Amino acid sequence: MLRAAHDVLALPPQRPAIYKQATVDKVIQSAMTVASRRFDFPKATPRGEVEGFKILRAEALRVLAWAPTPSMGTDRPALVLARVAASDQSVNPPPRVEELVESSIGLCRLIAASGKSADFNADYAAQQVARAISAIGIEANKNIEVKSPTLRLRPWKVDGARLLEAIELIQSNKDPYITEMVKQTRPLLLDLEAGRVTQAANLGTWANGDTKPAGNSLYKGGEPSEVKPRSVSDE
């Protein structure tokens, strides 16, 4: 069902519309429920069961990435995406690369569409995208030079191309932090798209360093919306 919902939401706007906005809202709410579900698997749980949970969550994130606005009533789809992108401590089990890709793309779409969302800190969202891209690059560096397609864990070049397209959506944003974030992430994604080893660690140092977004949470006011990235020792 999630895959079918994604395919419909990804279609270009139709005239007349093929679905009502109320339908979109319900689909996004359902995807949020799946994507934000936390499960503490016992250590003895078979790997396949844990990965199956993550695959389902990734499908929900692909749907959530088409949320039209950062907030939908009391729902906050951008917060779910941001916490996955940054591997927040609340996201359990920790996200796989596929989830980092999908949540980053969704956040970029929301940043690009956030002009009328006065309560949304787009620069803070951009920081979470940078964190995700760094993590993706680190994983790619471990595997990208493998020559055998059967041993390559991800279509890294495709990931790079998709993320580049997402970054292009926000490069016209005049916010100083977002401008610098695009400058920092684009070379890494060009390397990823070309099948080269990336400077992922350098990006991670920047994203977690002294250059910080003006906003200190994803939303201005309301319920807490900080992102608390998981440390390596937590995984």
Which candidate, 35, 85, 40, places its Cα nearest to that of 63? Answer: 35
Flag whether 232 is in a domain: no
- Rounded mean pLDDT, 65-72: 94
Residue 20 CA, chain-centre distance (Å), reads 26
Which candidate, 46, 41, 148, 153, places its Cα nearest to that of 96? Answer: 153
Q: How far, in Å, CA of 132 to CA of 86, rounded?
A: 6
Tens of pLDDT, residues 10-57: 767 667 776 777 888 899 999 999 999 999 999 999 999 999 999 999
Q: How far, in Å, CA of 41 to CA of 66, rounded?
A: 29
Flag whether 189 is in a domain: yes
Tens of pLDDT, residues 95-120: 999 999 999 999 999 999 988 899 99
Boundaries of domain holding 189 = 2-220
Tens of pLDDT, residues 116-141: 899 999 999 999 999 999 999 999 99
Flag whether 235 is in a domain: no
Flag whether 142 is in a domain: yes
Instruction: Return the HEC string of 139-182.
Output: HHHHHCCCCCHHHCCCCHHHHHHHHHHHHHHHCCCCCHHHHHHH
Per the structure, the count of domains in the chain is 1
Flag whether 44 is in a domain: yes
Flag whether 228 is in a domain: no
Flag whether 24 is in a domain: yes
Flag whether 29 is in a domain: yes
